[in-house]
Amino acid sequence: MLESHLKKELQKIKGKKVLVFGDLMLDEHIWSHVNRISPEAPVVVADVSKITHVPGGSGNVANNILTLGGTPILVGLIGNDSSGIKLVQALKILGINEKYLIKNSERPTILKSRLIASGQQIVRVDRELKEIISHKLSKKILLRAVNQIRKVDAVIISDYGKGLTSKENCQVIIRAANKYKKPVLVDPKGTDYKKYEGATIITPNLKEAEAATNIKINSEKGLLKAGEKLLKTINSPFVLITRSEKGMSLFRKKEEPIHIPGIPRQVFDITGAGDTVIAMLALSFSSGMKISDAVHLANDAGSIKVTKIATQPVYYKELEDSLVEKDPASKKIKNREELKEIVKQLRSSDMKIVFTNGCFDILHLGHVRYLKEAKNLGDVLIVGLNSDASVKKLKGFPRPYLPEHERAEILASLESVDYVVVFNENRPDNLIKIVKPAFHVKGGDYKISELPERDIVKKFGGEIIVIPPVEGKSTTNIVEKIKSTAGN
């Protein structure tokens, strides 16, 4: 199977060294909550909860190289300013060497500030200069890059159109890489792709490919024309057009294109997806992997990135786990250790977590409606499922009617359920401590004051919601009906 083959190929990328040359920036994320309109103007009021800083642009490419198992050599320009200081600190925290960066007092560090509320970007504010960097300063940066090219396995040009990646500078990098027989991968910008001539592969998205070729890509014919035109323009072996949810299309000289379908995932934020794709491609090229395998892995890595809010990298383990041959439902079933990591990530992205628990022994309409209503309260629904031993203690013989692995898979197959975790205790207290949900949901006619877990939920700032049952729909009723009609 393809997944097991790709998993073996993935092991080859570990430790590969990639030089990243391009536009470096600081990404500032202002996390907030919005629940009112300003009395001064028809705009929302954002209550800021925290501000975080991470490397953006070529810095995010370098971070993806690192988290995917490689070693990045980051060469670029930063200002001698407070944003530059924060950027260097962010790189150090991640473990990315900043010694190849050039500081300059005349150009400010590029800063992109994103205001985020309830997992959505509200506004982005850019502070930057786009003018071409002076010849003198370019020469200094290029010298650092060229001196490292012979020591690496691949080279990335991360072009955000912010002044460093001029035609002259790109050609210096490409010629040096070709001299040392290193693959050069370009994430392009603008409409003049002649400046990338001689690169191994370029990775425009649909919009970028349309702009560069002046061809409308709204059909397969348009896609093929654009891909062929780009191949001729840059005189390179490969062009990879990324197509969002439709996947990727690889164009090759004198060969049929390869179309790789998209991987269905819940999309939260496309920020930095292109950085993840080119980082994965560079590591794959470094290892001598077949181009088709490299594109499959890049497609998978990009699909993982879009499930994350804001500028976040993809980790080797995440990609490896995604290649396990499982059906989509079984991928939702997690153990406690896995759940801890998932919850950590969800919380860092300000996602509202909904938690519920139960036996769910013989799933029926009441369960389905209840779970759908619970999911609508927040962004992610986590279900704690009583184990067989736990159900036996709570319900007695002959329960459960269905074993836990079947109950878990049935639950996971529901669109409303994001994760399922099995627990052995009679009560879900320990799971609640891990999840710390915004909403803890119970189904039935409970009084909140009588629920034993109310204090734990309240301690973590959560709210208990009781959803009334669907009349006449219960596991007991189903079993009694089966018994009463048996033998008829």
Q: Is 187 among the residues known to form the active site?
A: no
Q: What is d(CA 92, CA 399) in angstroms, rounded to the nearest whole number? A: 55
Token pair 């390179």 is found at 236
Cα separations in angstroms, 153 against 13, 21, 73, 179 = 10, 14, 11, 13
Tell me the two tokens of residue 72.
């990045």
Q: What is the rounded distance in angstroms from the CA atom of residue 252 to the CA atom of residue 263? A: 23
Is there a contact between 174 and 199 (Cβ–Cβ < 8 Å)? yes
Q: Is the dihedral of CA 448, 453, 459, 464 positive or negative?
A: negative
Question: What's the CA gap between 184 and 192, in Å, rounded?
Answer: 17
Asked if 30 and 115 count as a contact pair (C-beta separation under 8 A), the reply is: yes
Annotated binding site: 205-208
CA–CA dist 398, 382 (Å, integer) = 27
Catalytic hit among 23, 269, 275, 293: 275
What is the set of active-site residues?
275
